[in-house]
Chain A
Amino acid sequence: MGKLVLSDHELALKSVQLRKKTLEAIHDAGAGHTGGGLSCLDVLNVLYNRILNVSPETFGSATRDRYVQSKGHSVEALYAVLADRGFFPEADLKTICHYQSHMVGHPTRHIHGIEMNTGALGHGLPICIGMALAAKMDSAAYRVFTLLGDGELAEGSNWEAALAAAHYKLDNLTAIIDHNTLQISGHTRDVMSNEPLDEKWRAFGWAVKIVNGHDYAALTEALSKPAEIGKPTCIIANTTKGKGVSFMENVAKWHHGVPSDAELKQALGELNAAAAKLKEAA
């Protein structure tokens, strides 16, 4: 568990701010992956503020926890979280997709806090198996996490990796599925149905937990420790694509839709109202 401990209320307020930053970054860049960034943002918020034993200062430590974002396209949300945690100045978010900025549209190790270059789907889980095996070989206590999209699961390499992780009993490995049920072309069930996910992962030898991916307490409980000794953990995080912005929620076109000036204004207005409501409730 990381050093920073925030209350659920504080995390909720932070998520609103991070959603605003994500949307502003995509708007400024003129490109990006909006819906999936908003769907996984609460997972990232909990990981970096409650779970991962990693900080800007300790990122070079051999015993840090590893996080590899297999769904690399949700990079703007990740960068917003990393900036908030102090890995780089927030002003850098203004350079996303700009000429000669390493903040390209998918994660690269040129950016402090990024473990591996991802973006092509189906790569994160095999890499994390290598990392988790290395930890076991060194009797190191660090844990390894990856975040996959549910549409990403159509990539066959995930299932090669699913076999291997169970074979090697990698209980230091946690795969989180951002289960927002939408992908670029529409509903995942229509593009390539993959349900029931929980039974598939269990059948492959994983310990599976299903959580509300916007519930900080549930995510914290699920992520805090391996679900079962001797098995890798799969957390199916049920999320809403475009979470937090009414006209983006559950709309496939916002997979990589870029808000116009007016749409950004409306979205920020909704998020500001959400923040005010949260403060009022407190």
Chain B
Amino acid sequence: MSAPAPSMFTPAAKVMAEKLGLKMGRANLEEFAATLEELAKANPNIIAVTSDSRGSGKLAPFGKNLPKQLVEVGIAEQNLVGITAGLAACGKKSFGVSPGCFLTARSLEQIKNDICYSDVPAVLIGISSGTSYGALGTTHHSLHDLAVLRAINNLTIIVPADNFETRAAIQFAAKATKPVFVRFGKAAMFNLHKSETKFTVGKAIQLRDGNDVAFIATGETAVHALLAAGKLAEQGLNCRVISMHSIKPLDTEVILKAGRECRAVITVEEHLVNGGLGEACASVLLQGGASKPFRIVAIPDEETVPGAQADIFRHYGISMEGLSETALKLLK
């Protein structure tokens, strides 16, 4: 009998979430699958391409309800991306759906050439990204994907934080005329946004205002930054929290504003420290003459600690407690 996966949130973090009025939603993976099926029912040109990943991608209902709009390629990720590109080149709105670890490493050349360089309006969905597969180990982690994809021209990269951002990202991708990559995890996520929030690719969303520390977080780390801001408020610190859902194009204006207005900047991401959001922000801040005390909270350049996703997050300080501590140290 396997041990139950530890919660992504400590009891104290859950209390803070309640205090901040956050409600638990479903996994972004589930939100993606539901959104894609809704869109595909209305648009028969939407085609999902899977690499024996319809179960992992929560697309079994899609395959059952819309069998003519799902192409199964078997365990063959290079072929998945090439086929996704060919479909897009012939007028289909194709979504290649595969675990982020395989999609963005094994098929990198296909992403670079068949989709981005050939400039076809295909969408790639990295499911169960980051450390979502936790204890399955490094083979199944995608902590390189943002770095390698940032280095490829002509690709919009979106890392949604919650169900709202996921739905909006998929809606955007379905209409996009250029290549799009979206990655997310499979753990249930708190909803961070009010219903009237506007989602625009390339424009970050400020979740909370403050001038002491600016947390610039991407994807499913944003909630931890928000909880940390709540905890720091109890100590008299006003922290800004920014959900940087678009890694490319990057909202440089918001980053520079944070650098100019706040006493310190902390970036947070479920990615290796190399080449991800943190280094992108550092580049913007330094080149914009807005350098402040700065920390990148990410997975360090080492063999990732074994454990469930929640263990890994806590081990590397991607948690309410860890981020609060980093902020306090940085302000000293």
Residue of B nearest to A163 (CB): B74
Query: Is A134 in contact with chain B by the CB < 8 A criterion?
Result: yes
B76 within 8 Å of A (CB atoms): yes
Q: Are A120 and B79 in contact (CB under 8 A)?
A: no
Chain A 128-164, CB-CB to B under 8 Å as 1, else 0, gives 1111111101100000000000000000110011011
Select one of A134, A137, A160 contacting B79, CB under 8 A: A160
Q: With A130-B87, A133-B86, A157-B82 in contact, is A164–B113 under 8 Å at CB?
A: no
Bound CA–CA A108/B118 (angstroms):
7
Q: For the complex, is A32 an interface residue (Cβ under 8 Å from B)?
A: no
The answer to whether A117 and B113 touch (CB under 8 A), given A126-B82, A157-B82, A161-B82, is: yes
Query: Which of B71, B90, B94 has the most chain A CB within a 10 Å cutoff?
Result: B90
Residues of chain A within 8 A (CB-CB) of B78 are 122, 126, 156-157, 160
Partner of B89, one of A123, A131, A156: A131
What is the CA–CA distance of A135 and B114 in the complex, to the nearest angstrom? Answer: 19
By the criterion CB–CB under 8 Å, are B90 and A131 in contact? yes
Whether A128 pairs with B79 at a CB distance below 8 angstroms is no
For B90, the chain A residues whose CB sits under 8 A away are: 62, 66, 130-131, 134-135, 138
- B54 shortest CB reach to chain A, Å: 16
Given A62-B91, A116-B114, A118-B113; A130-B74 close (CB under 8 Å): no
Expressed in whole angstroms, the Cα–Cα distance for A128 and B83 within the complex equals 7
Report B-chain residues with C-beta under 8 Å of the C-beta of A161.
79, 82
The answer to whether A130 and B119 touch across the interface, beta carbons within 8 angstroms, is no
29 pairs from A and B in contact (CB 8 Å cutoff): A66-B90, A109-B119, A116-B120, A117-B113, A117-B114, A120-B109, A123-B82, A123-B109, A126-B79, A126-B82, A126-B83, A127-B85, A128-B86, A129-B79, A129-B82, A129-B83, A130-B82, A134-B86, A135-B90, A157-B78, A157-B79, A157-B82, A157-B110, A160-B74, A160-B76, A160-B79, A163-B74, A164-B79, A167-B74
Per-position contact with A for B26-59: 1 when CB-CB < 8 Å, else 0?
0000000000000000000001000000000000
Q: Considering the chains assembled together, what is the distance between the CA atoms of A62 and B76 in angstroms? A: 28
Is B198 interfacial (CB 8 A cutoff)? no
Docked Cα-Cα span, A192 to B144, in Å, equals 32
Alpha-carbon distance between A157 and B85 when the two chains are bound, in angstroms: 14
- Interface set of A (CB-CB < 8 Å, partner B): 62, 66, 108-109, 115-120, 122-123, 125-135, 137-138, 156-157, 160-161, 163-164, 167
Identify whether the interface residues of A are mostly helix, strand, loop, or mixed: helix
Q: How far is the CB of A36 from chain B (nearest CB, A)?
A: 19
The reply to whether B113 and A137 form a contact with Cβ atoms under 8 Å apart is: no
Partner of A131, one of B71, B73, B74, B86: B86
B89 touches A126 (CB 8 A): no
* Residue from A120, A128, A129, A130 in contact with B88 in the complex, judged by beta carbons closer than 8 Å: A130
A158 to chain B, nearest CB (A): 9
The reply on B81 being an interface residue by CB < 8 A is yes
Partner of B113, one of A66, A123, A125, A128: A123
Q: Find chain B residues with CB under 8 A from A118 CB.
A: 113
Q: A117-B113, A131-B89 are in contact. Are A163 and B76 (CB under 8 A)?
A: yes
- Write the nearest CB–CB distance from B177 to chain A, whole angstroms: 14
Chain B residues in 8 Å Cβ range of A117: 113-114, 117-118
> How far is B119's CA from A125's CA once the two chains are assembled, in angstroms?
18
| Cβ contacts under 8 Å, B142 to chain A | none
Tell me whether A130 and B83 are in contact in the complex, defined as CB-CB below 8 angstroms, given that A116-B118, A137-B47, A160-B78 are known contacts.
yes
A189 to B303, CA, bound (A): 41
A127 B91 Cβ-Cβ under 8 A: no
Hey, which chain B residues are within 8 Å of A109, CB to CB?
A: 118-119
State whether the Cβ of B68 lies closer than 8 Å to any Cβ in chain A. Answer: yes
Asked if B83 and A127 make an inter-chain contact with CB atoms under 8 angstroms apart, the answer reads yes
A175 to chain B, nearest CB (A): 13
Q: Which residues of B contact A116 (CB under 8 A)?
A: 85-86, 89, 114, 118, 120
Q: Give B100-116 as 1s and 0s: 1 = Cβ < 8 Å from A's Cβ atoms.
A: 00000000011001100
Q: Is B292 an interface residue (CB 8 A)?
A: no
Are A134 and B110 in contact, with the CB atoms below 8 A? no
Whether B314 is near chain A, meaning CB under 8 Å from some CB there, is no
Q: Are B113 and A130 in contact (CB under 8 A)?
A: no
Cα of A161 to Cα of B89 in the assembled complex, Å: 17
Q: Is B92 an interface residue (CB 8 A)?
A: yes
Most buried by B among A120, A132, A135, A137: A137
- CB-CB nearest in chain B for A122: B78
A134 close to B91 (CB less than 8 A): yes
In chain B, what residue has the closest Cβ to A108?
B117
Q: Are B86 and A129 in contact (CB under 8 A)?
A: yes
**Which residues of chain A are near B156, meaning CB under 8 Å?**
none
Additional A-B contact list (14), CB under 8 Å, known A115-B89, A137-B68: A62-B91, A116-B85, A118-B113, A120-B109, A122-B78, A126-B79, A129-B82, A130-B94, A131-B89, A133-B71, A133-B87, A137-B92, A157-B78, A160-B78
Please name all residues of chain B whose beta carbon is closer than 8 Å to the beta carbon of A129 when the two chains form the complex.
Answer: 79, 82-83, 86
Cβ contact within 8 Å between B92 and A134:
yes
**CB of B84 within 8 Å of the partner chain:** yes
Chain B contacts for A108, CB-based, 8 A: 117
Closest to A140 in B: B90
Q: How far is the CA of A64 from the CA of B74 in the complex (A)?
A: 29
Q: Find B83's partner among A119, A120, A156, A164 (CB 8 Å cutoff).
A: A164
CB distance from B6 to the nearest CB of A (A): 37
Check B86 against A126 for contact (C-beta < 8 Å): yes
Residues of A with C-beta under 8 A to B94: 130
B82 cross-chain contacts in A, Cβ below 8 A? 123, 125-127, 129-130, 157, 161
